[in-house]
A = this chain, B = another copy of it.
Amino acid sequence: MDGGAREGTSGRAFWDPAWGAEYLDDFKALSSFGATAGGGVDRQAATPEEAATRTWFAAWLEDRGFTIAYDRIGNLFGMKETVRGAPYILVGSHLDSQPLAGRFDGAYGVLGGAHAAHRAGLALGGQEPRFNLAVVAWFNEEGSRFKPSMMGSSVYTGTIPLEVALATTDRHGVTVRDALALTQQVGDDDVLALDRIAGYVEMHVEQGPDMEANGIVIGPVVGTWCAYKYEVCVTGAQSHSGSTPMADRRDALLAASHLVVELNGLIDEFETEELHTAVGELNVLPNSPVVIAREVRLLMDIRARDTATLRRAFASLEQRITAIEARTHCTIEIISKSTWESGTFPEGGVQLTAQLADELGHTNASTVTLAGHDATNMNEKVPTVLFFVPSVDGLSHAEGELTSDEDMVAGLSLMTNVLHRLAGEGIPTVY
């Protein structure tokens, strides 16, 4: 072990401040890829910006003795097989971003996970760890270029067939297969199949305001909100937007606008912040100044803590949709639906995270996640730990996204100890 670090013994968390400084330097370097004028990043999946980020990150891992490989959906793995044939504890997140997004979302968990795995591995050097350590940067977590989000971990866990994912196109008709081939960051086998994974750990920025508001530095995640996501097709009839009598119009954009307003109006039927709804993407056809839209496609997002709330919201929405159809003479059709149900993370992992945070002196309180994460996918298959660090003003998916250096390093010190404990001692009772 380096410098002034405390011993990595059971019940005694260790940390060297020099490791934090080194991490912050690397994070600055990482943030230069796809950097935007507004202080954020723009590196959507399989773009040159994201590919450059992954190339840099793969070199970082190789420099520290990790073996690099890409699986068939472009997930990047860095593996260190210390104990021959032993299962792996996997740590990671994603390096892709939304358009004009923040530097922290995903990237924090990938680089922080890699630093932590590196330090935890070194700290385990004199011991006989039970598990190996591996780092993953999941492909296309954001889903902004290729839908749906969390594509890499969904293929990995078998939720989405590989061929379906590879055939998905962006709005210019480019397939995932072709985009990945261009980056050369894709392989032809599974690399590290799910049955070789003993546990998954991810840290992430909160993307909400609660932890900062309550002075919490570490938030072990106990549960995830459920989310229903609908792709909707609103069909009207194309006509002249000046000369067509108002009574004869079947304006798909008017119907879609009513839908956006009504979806938002749903929240008034529930307790404050009990239900979240949004439309983030909406595309108009033909989208010309003097033409009534014949079609609008949009994505509706409805989230709540429990499925019963979502079902109640959706039942109300269906009534509202029927009224919009009658009023606008358009049809509103749900053409696809993707959901994730509410879930809980293993209690033992939450307890371990809280205990190690306490040992390190980091204020902590358990929390829930409203956003989806690759950890949500992994949690359905293997014991999974997820914890948050605060987001200033709760801002995310925006250039102004911010987590303080102190909070980033706090999370890193915790992750280092979580990996050290899991890989070194196995702690089967955690799960």
- Given the interface pairs A280-B289, A287-B281, the reply to whether A397 lies near B241 with Cβ below 8 Å is yes
Contact indicator per residue, chain A 230-250, by CB within 8 Å of chain B (1) or not (0): 000000011111111111110
**Chain B residues with CB below 8 A from A191, complex form:** none
- Give the CA-CA distance A227 to B283 in the complex, in Å: 26
Is A288 interfacial (CB 8 A cutoff)?
A: yes
Select the residue from A207, A238, A286, A372 with max chain B CB neighbours within 10 A. Answer: A238
| A254 proximity list for chain B (CB < 8 A) | 260-261, 264, 279
In the complex with contacts A100-B286, A209-B248, A273-B247, A238-B398 CB distance below 8 A: yes
Chain B residues with CB under 8 Å of A144's CB are: 286, 288-291
Asked if B242 and A253 sit within 8 Å, CB to CB, the answer is no
Assess whether A253 is in contact with B279, with CB atoms less than 8 Å apart.
yes
Q: Which residues does chain B contribute within 8 Å of A267, judged by CB atoms? A: 246
- Is A208 close to B, CB under 8 A? yes
CB contact list, A173-224 vs B, under 8 A: 206-209
Say whether B281 contacts A282, CB under 8 Å. Answer: no
The yes or no answer to A384 lying at the interface (CB within 8 A) is no
The CA-CA distance from A294 to B276 in the complex, in Å, is 18
> What is the CB-to-nearest-CB distance from A242 to chain B, in angstroms, rounded to a whole number?
5
How many angstroms from the CA of A299 to the CA of B286 in the assembled complex?
13
- Please judge, given known A-B contacts A243-B371, A261-B254, A371-B243, whether A397 and B290 are in contact too, CB under 8 Å: yes
Of B98, B209, B225, B229, the contact of A291 (CB 8 Å cutoff) = B98
A251 interface residue (CB < 8 Å to B): yes
What residue in chain B is nearest A38 (Cβ atoms)? B238
Q: Which residues of B contact A284 (CB under 8 A)?
A: 281-282
* Cβ–Cβ < 8 Å partners of A301 in chain B: 241-242, 289-290
Which of A148, A242, A264, A394 gathers the greatest number of chain B CB atoms within 10 Å?
A: A242
Instruction: Give bound CA distance, A144 to B272, whole Å.
Output: 43
Assembly stoichiometry (copies): 2
Residue of B nearest to A267 (CB): B246
Per-residue contact bits, chain A 87-101, to B (CB 8 Å; 1 contact, 0 not): 000000000001110
- Closest partner residue, chain B, to A149 (CB atom): B290
> How far is B124's CA from A347's CA once the two chains are assembled, in angstroms?
96
Q: Out of B147, B275, B395, which one reaches A239, CB within 8 Å?
A: B395
- Complex alpha-carbon distance, A206 and B242, angstroms: 12
A246: which of B276, B289, B372, B398 is its contact (CB, 8 Å)? Answer: B276
Give chain B residues whose Cβ lies under 8 Å from the Cβ of A398.
237-240, 291, 294
A229 to B256, CA, bound (A): 21
Chain B's closest residue to A225 (CB) is B242
Nearest CB on B from A246, distance (A) = 6
- Is A396 in contact with chain B by the CB < 8 A criterion? yes
Chain B neighbourhood of A397, CB < 8 A: 238-241, 288, 290-292
A262 to chain B, nearest CB (A): 9
Q: Which 7 A-B pairs have the closest CB atoms?
A: A257-B260, A241-B278, A99-B286, A144-B288, A257-B257, A238-B398, A243-B370
A to B CB contacts below 8 Å, 26 in the list? A98-B291, A99-B291, A100-B294, A143-B289, A144-B286, A144-B289, A144-B291, A207-B240, A207-B243, A209-B245, A243-B276, A243-B371, A244-B276, A244-B395, A246-B275, A247-B272, A251-B278, A257-B258, A261-B261, A278-B292, A280-B288, A280-B289, A281-B287, A283-B287, A291-B397, A291-B398
A contact residues vs B (CB 8 Å cutoff): 98-100, 142-144, 147-149, 206-209, 225, 227, 229, 237-249, 251, 253-254, 256-261, 264, 267, 272-273, 275-284, 286-294, 299, 301, 303, 369-372, 394-399
